[in-house]
Amino acid sequence: MLFLTQGYAISSIFKSIDGKYFHNNVLSPYIFAVIFDQKTLSAAIEPPSRSEFYRQALLIGMGVFAVLAVFQPFGTYVFEHDLKYLLLAGYGLLIPLTGVALREIIALIKPEFFDRSKWTFRRELVLTGLFLLGGVVMSYFYHHLAIGGRLSVRGFFWFVFFALTTVSLPMALLLAWRFFYVKNQLAISELSQQLTPAETLITLLGENRNEKLTLHRDEVLYLRAADNYVEIFLLKNQQVQRLMFRGALSSMFQQLEKVGTFKQVHRSFVVNMDHTVRLEGKSPAYFLVFENAPATEEIPVSRLVVADIRETLASKPR
């Protein structure tokens, strides 16, 4: 990410062509072209948490410092200074700091960017690209602050070229690992669906185009309206989990009605009656309790459907 003078920089390009680092780096664009297919790019995945993103930014920063310190590309090897490695470490420190600032700014200005129901691997790449661009720009100003030199448009674009070459190796390794992780999760999900009878799966369609969620019917406990979203509560491995899905509860219930085991017991609640539930309370405050998931909340039941719920519960095999 460092070049000291334009004369050294230009000559170092040709000197680096025979070096291992340059050969490894020029492969990075080909790695991206081979592994990033549309199916994986469009895959719905869990967005990285703050701590996960910060750890990845720190790893990239450490990788940049390692490249600068070990391979010393683009004129770095001719730079003599008592604090040379400390100055190089500044680039590695600047990368995660830029990542922290970038993520917090996006979360503040456009919080919907991190919407879990819309997060895909493509969106993750967009975030990575913004992070990379921000790191390069900040490194350019750090370079002139720490090393010196004249600020210029031409110098900036030269710096961008060298910076992207320097960071491409650690970035390629991190993204390749993330890509194959997502690809593996997709393969597991597809295999699971093939092995699971179709009638045990339910698919919900969201408000936005191409938004859908496939769930195991027997894992769904209940749905609860939450403004423009629906909270879906699942029972997995005896643990209650919650998902957020954009859409109206009425639309979700219309889709679930076809399954036959879901009842809208309240204007804000839809319950999977396949689970072991009991009706408690007295008029007008009736509610349902999940016997197989006692940690869940009590589900209010409208007076208009109490008779229907009693009939459904009475007809269930004991």
**What's the CATH code of the domain at 273?**
2.40.50.1020
pLDDT at 225: 93
Structural domain that includes position 63: 6-193
In a domain, 160, yes or no: yes
Q: Do 179 and 205 belong together in one domain? A: no
Q: Do 286 and 158 belong together in one domain? A: no
Query: Cβ of 200: how many Cβ atoms within 10 Å?
Result: 12
pLDDT at 62: 87
Q: Do 134 and 230 belong together in one domain? A: no
| Stated pTM of the model | 0.49
Query: Cβ of 269: how many Cβ atoms within 10 Å?
Result: 22
In a domain, 279, yes or no: yes
In a domain, 1, yes or no: no
Q: Do 99 and 235 belong together in one domain? A: no
Q: Do 57 and 86 belong together in one domain? A: yes
Which among 210, 42, 212, 188 is positioned nearest to 125, based on CA atoms?
Answer: 42
Q: Do 146 and 212 belong together in one domain? A: no
pLDDT at 13: 33
In a domain, 28, yes or no: yes
Number of structural domains (the chain) is 2
Per-residue burial over 210-238, b = 16 or more CB atoms within 10 Å of its CB, e = otherwise: eeebebeeebbbbbbbeeebbbbbbbeee
Q: How would you class 287 by CB atoms within 10 Å of its CB: exposed for 0-12, middle for 13-18, buried for 19 or more? A: middle
Q: Do 66 and 118 belong together in one domain? A: yes
In a domain, 91, yes or no: yes
pLDDT at 37: 64
Domain boundary pick from 193, 212, 242? 193
CA 137 – CA 154 distance, rounded (Å): 14
Pairing state between β 269-272 and 262-266? antiparallel
* pLDDT average per 10 residues of sequence, the chain (318 residues): 35 37 44 57 76 85 82 72 82 88 91 81 85 86 78 83 75 77 72 57 77 86 91 87 89 85 92 89 87 83 90 80
CA 31 – CA 74 distance, rounded (Å): 23
pLDDT at 30: 44
pLDDT at 318: 62
Q: Do 160 and 215 belong together in one domain? A: no
pLDDT at 17: 34
Q: Do 24 and 161 belong together in one domain? A: yes
**What are the Cα distances from residue 44, in Å, to 32, 113, 120, 189?**
19, 14, 4, 12
**What are the Cα distances from residue 253, in Å, to 117, 183, 260?**
18, 32, 11
